[in-house]
Amino acid sequence: MKESEQTSGTGGFDQTAHNALRLALIFLVLYWCLQLLAPFIPLVVWGAIIAVAIYPLHEKLAVRLGNRVKLSATLIALLGLTILIAPVIVLTESLVESSTDLAAHVAEGSVRVPPPPERVKDIPLVGDKLHSNWLLASQNLSAASKRFGPQLKTLRESLIATATSAGAAFLQILFSVIIAGVFLATKDKSVAGVRLAITWLVGERGPVLISASEATVRSVARGVLGVAVIETVLAAIGLVAADVPATGFWTLLILVLSIVQVPPLLVVAPLVAYVLSTAEAIGAGIFVVCGVLVVATDTFVKPLLLGRGANVPMLVILMGAIGGMILLGIVGLFVGAVVLVLGWELLQFWFKEADSPASEPPGKPQVPAE
């Protein structure tokens, strides 16, 4: 009796150890797979966001082409690449050139620093120190460079890193457009896979959750990201026409501010003043027109598009955009905003479902006939 119990216990331990080993191997393989796929996840997510945002256009074009879905997806992808390639090349070259030039000037100590205004002293706590250091830099840059050598070295390295990563980031955007075309071309399989996964996770609420997620992604992609891209393109046209120095830097700054919901007027207004005082009449006129269009788009078009979608606090968009950019770079600027907004909407959806009575019937209660 004791021997049989000991054998049974040993067998149970062996089976437990065997199951634990199998689980460990499964998690190890999944971890390696995740590590291998990690560089591609932001591209795939951004491609899916683009595909969801432009799907209505793809559907209409496919009908016009005689229900040729793959041809419509191919044309949209080619059109997107054609529209993006030329501006991306110009802006990337400008950003790289301006960043490397500024880094070289910082390293050589040849940057010209204007004298500080007197009102800087009125800044609480740091006004006097900031004014004295700024004044030293304007009068004797070499002495200031020696004093702030480590900080300037860090700045120079950051500028060089920005220049080297700009091209890669824009290439990621181009690859995301291609991925979006693949999603559009395989729409039925993609939707079926997403529906199967969501239904497996949440059960019968899957279709409702998919519809809510689709509306949220489309709203943010159009109202935030789409408007930001339009504003950036308009600003870039004006900057190139007026031959403003560091065009790539100013364009990237306007893009970031537009996504994080900071009015681009803060950048456009000083640039307008600069352009009117330095540029030629034609270039200045084009820039002023583009600047007015940027401000008008931010003031009127953005609220209109956002009003048609999900009601999401701007703080969620801001945190998603900034966090995404810190984590993933320029692509994360787009992906982070949409993903965090989608997560917010999913939480709202689940909380509403949890608050609703579990026993409440879907329709009106029927009164039994007497």
Residue ranges covered by each domain of the chain? 204-354
What is each CA distance from 22 to 17, 29, 74, 338, 347, in whole angstroms?
9, 11, 44, 37, 34
**Whole-angstrom Cα distance, residue 341 to residue 320?**
7
pLDDT of residue 124: 67
CB atoms within 10 A of CB 213: 18
Mean pLDDT of 29-53: 87
Cβ neighbours for 2, distance < 8 A, ≥ 6 positions apart: none
Task: Tell me the one-letter amino acid at 93.
Answer: E
- 168 is written with which tokens? 């890669």
CA distance 309 to 217: 9
Mean pLDDT for all residues in the chain = 75
Q: Does residue 306 have a pLDDT over 70?
A: no
Residue 289 has a pLDDT of 92
Residue type, 348: Q
Least confident interval from 14-23, 144-153, 269-278, 298-307 = 144-153
CA–CA distance, 149 with 137 (Å, rounded to integer): 12
Q: Which of 59-63, 166-170, 248-252 has the highest mean pLDDT?
A: 59-63
Residue 227 has what pLDDT? 85
Q: CA angle, 71 as apex, 69 and 72 as ends, to 5°? A: 65
How far, in Å, are 103, 112, 137, 215, 273 from residue 115 at the CA level?
21, 10, 8, 52, 20
User: What is the structure's pLDDT at 165?
Assistant: 61
3-state secondary structure of 312: coil
The 3-state DSSP class for residue 292 equals helix
Cβ atoms of 258 and 232 closer than 8 Å:
yes
Q: How far apart are CA 286 and CA 240, in angstroms?
A: 10
* Residue 201 in this model has a pLDDT that exceeds 80: no
Check residue 369 and give its pLDDT: 42
d(CA 349, CA 312): 13
Phi and psi at residue 194, to the nearest 5°:
-65, -45
Identify which of 33-42, 83-92, 247-256 has the greatest average pLDDT.
33-42
CA distance 108 to 244: 23
Of 31 and 349, the structure prediction assigns the larger pLDDT to 31
Q: Give the 3-state secondary structure of residue 279.
A: coil
Alpha helices in the chain (DSSP H): 2-37, 41-64, 69-108, 127-139, 141-147, 149-185, 187-202, 206-220, 227-242, 247-259, 265-278, 281-296, 302-307, 314-328, 330-355
Given a cut of 60, whether residue 106 has pLDDT beyond it is no
- Backbone φ/ψ region at 368: left (φ over 0), alpha (ψ -120 to 50), beta: beta
